Amino acid sequence: MLTELLKYYIAITLIPNVGNITAKKLIAHCGSVDEVFAANESTISKVLGIGNVLVDSIMSNRDEALKIAEKEIEFIEKNNIKTFVYTETDYPRRLQTCDDSPVVFFAKGEVDFNHAKILSIIGTRKATDYGTELCKQIIADLAVTHKPVIVSGLAYGIDICAHKAALHNGLKTISVMGTGLHTVYPFHHRNVANQILQQGALITDFTSQSIFDRTNFLRRNRIIAGLADAVIVIESGTKGGALVTANIAVSYNRDVLAFPGRTGDEFSAGCNHLIKTNKAALIENIADIEYVLGWMPKNIQPKQLPLFNTLNEKEMLIINHLKETDTDTIDNMSQKMQISMSQLSAMLLSLEFGGYVQSLPGKAYSLKKI
C-alpha cells in the first residue's frame, strides 16, 4: 500500500472513541480514508450513528492523529514490518468476515494468514500440569495429519504452551499481541517471540506508540477469535480472557471447542460452563476435533451409531427427529416434540453421554458418528 494512504488508515484508528466499525462507516460514507480527514463537520455528522461528541472528537483530533501516524510509518519502515489493511486483497479472509476486524494491523515474520486450517488455542494463565500436557498432546496429534497454523496470545499458561508446542512440532504459529511490535509482553517470553519470528508471525493492531494497558489484551482477543476456523479452550475459570475470546468467537459464528473437567475444579469451570450453555462442543481428543470441524481423514470412515434397542420412546423420537433434520436447536425440538425444556435437556445430556448425539454451538444438536 502507498505510504501516503497508509498514513490515513493508521491515523483513523488513533482518533479517540473511533472504533473499527465507526472507522469503516466513515470511510464508506466519505468515499475514501483520506477524504475522512478532508471532510467538513457537516459531512461527518451525517454518518449513521455518530453523535455530536464523536463528531467533535474527530474534528479536534484528526490532525494530531496524522502526525502520530507519520511517526509510526517511520517505525514500520525501519523495522521491516508488514501492514494489512481491511480494503486490500491480502487481508486475511477469515478476519474480513468480522464487522469489527482491525482497519489495519501490523505483522512481523512469515505466515500464510489464509492457510487451509487455522486453530486458536487458548486458556487460563494459571494452567495446571493436566492442562499443559493436554495442550502439548493435542497439538502433537494435530501436527501429524493436519498441520494447522496455531494462534494464541503469548500470555502465561496455555497460550505460551500452545506456541511452544507448535514450534516443537514444526507448525507455524501466530502470536496476537496486546502491545505494539516495539516490545514483548510478558518480557519473559521474548525468546519464544524470537523463535516465532522464524516459524510464524507476531501481529498486533496496536502502534509502537500505544500506551500499555491490561485492557489491551481484551481488545486483541477479537483477532484471536476471528483469525481462526475454530477456538479450542483447554482450561479456563469462570472469568478471564479465554471466556471473552470464546464468546467473541461464537458471535463470529466460529466453532468453539472445550475440554471438560471435573466439577469443582477452578480452571475447568469455564470450559464446563461453555459446554453446558451449548456455546462449545465437548471434545476429548483429536477425533472429536476432526469430527466437529469436518477434518475427518478421507481414508477413515465413521462407524454407525450405537444400537438403539436400549432407548425409550421419547429418546427414539429425538433420534428420528435428528435423522430428518440433521441438526436442530433445543428450543425448536422442545416446541416440535412437545417436551419440556428441562426434560428435553436431561434426555439430550443422557444421549450425549451415550454417544448418540453431540452438542453444537448455538444450543444445537446433531447425531454423532462414532
Q: pLDDT at residue 300 above 70?
A: no
Note the pTM of the prediction, 2 decimals. 0.79
State which of 293, 328, 352 marks the end of a domain: 293
Q: Which of 201, 194, 146 is nearest to 172 (CA)?
A: 201
The widest CA-to-CA distance across the chain, in whole angstroms, is: 74
Write out 258-283 in H/E/C secondary structure: ECCCCCCCCCCHHHHHHHHCCCCEEC
Opening angle at CA 269, ends 267 and 272, nearest 5: 125
| Residues 146 and 287 occupy one common structural domain | yes
Lowest average pLDDT, out of 94-108, 180-194, 210-224, goes to: 210-224
Residues forming a β-bridge with 256: 231
The reply to whether 240 and 325 lie within a common domain is no
Which among 56, 78, 100 is the end of a domain?
78
Same domain for 285 and 320, yes or no, is: no
Using an 8 Å Cβ cutoff, are 362 and 323 in contact? Answer: no
Is residue 359 located within the same domain as residue 236?
no
Helix (H, G, I), strand (E, B) or coil at 213: coil
Question: Which is more confidently placed, 171 or 354?
Answer: 171
Instruction: Assess if residue 90 is contained within a domain.
Output: no
Domain boundary among 293, 321, 345: 293
* Cα 71 from Cα 360, distance rounded (Å): 47
Residues 155 and 283 in one domain: yes
Q: Are residues 145 and 278 in the same domain?
A: yes
pLDDT top residue among 39 and 304: 39
Q: Which pLDDT band holds residue 303 (cuts at 50, 70, 90)? A: very low
Cα first-last separation, the chain:
49
Q: Looking at the domain assignment, is residue 284 inside a domain? A: yes
Q: Can you tell me whether residue 315 is helix, strand or coil?
A: helix
100 domain residue, yes or no: no
Query: 150: which strand partners?
Result: 119, 173
Among 30-44, 227-241, 352-366, the range scoring the smallest mean pLDDT is 352-366
Inform me whether the pLDDT recorded for 43 exceeds 50. yes
Q: What is the pLDDT of residues 99-152, one digit of tens each?
A: 999 999 999 999 999 999 999 999 999 999 999 999 999 999 999 999 999 999
For residue 252, the enclosing domain spans 109-293
What's the Rg (C-alpha) of the chain?
23
132 and 267 share one domain: yes
Is residue 141 domain-shared with residue 208, that is, in the same domain?
yes
pLDDT at position 34: 95
Q: What is the pLDDT of residue 308?
A: 55
Per-residue pLDDT at 69: 96
Q: What is the pLDDT of residues 60-78, one digit of tens each?
A: 999 999 999 999 999 999 9
**Could you read off the pLDDT of 320-330 as tens digits, one per residue?**
898 888 889 88
- In the predicted model, is pLDDT for residue 304 greater than 60? no
Query: 210 with 162, same domain?
Result: yes
Same domain, 43 and 177: no
136 within domain boundaries:
yes
CA separation for the pair 35, 82 (Å, rounded) = 24
pLDDT > 90 fraction of the chain, expressed in percent and rounded: 70
Checking if the pLDDT of 298 tops 90, the result is: no
Residue 302's pLDDT is 47
> What's the CATH number where 344 sits?
1.10.10.10
Q: Is 93 inside any structural domain?
A: no
Any domain includes 241: yes
How far apart, in Å, are the Cα atoms of 14 and each of 108, 121, 139, 263?
21, 30, 37, 45
CA separation for the pair 87, 19 (Å, rounded): 16
Q: Number of folded domains in the chain?
A: 3
Burial of 202 (0-12, 13-18, 19+ CB in 10 A): buried
For residue 163, what is the domain's CATH number? Answer: 3.40.50.450
Instruction: Determine how β-strand 82-85 pairs with β-strand 255-258.
Output: unpaired
**pLDDT at position 256:** 96
Residues 209, 269 within the same domain? yes
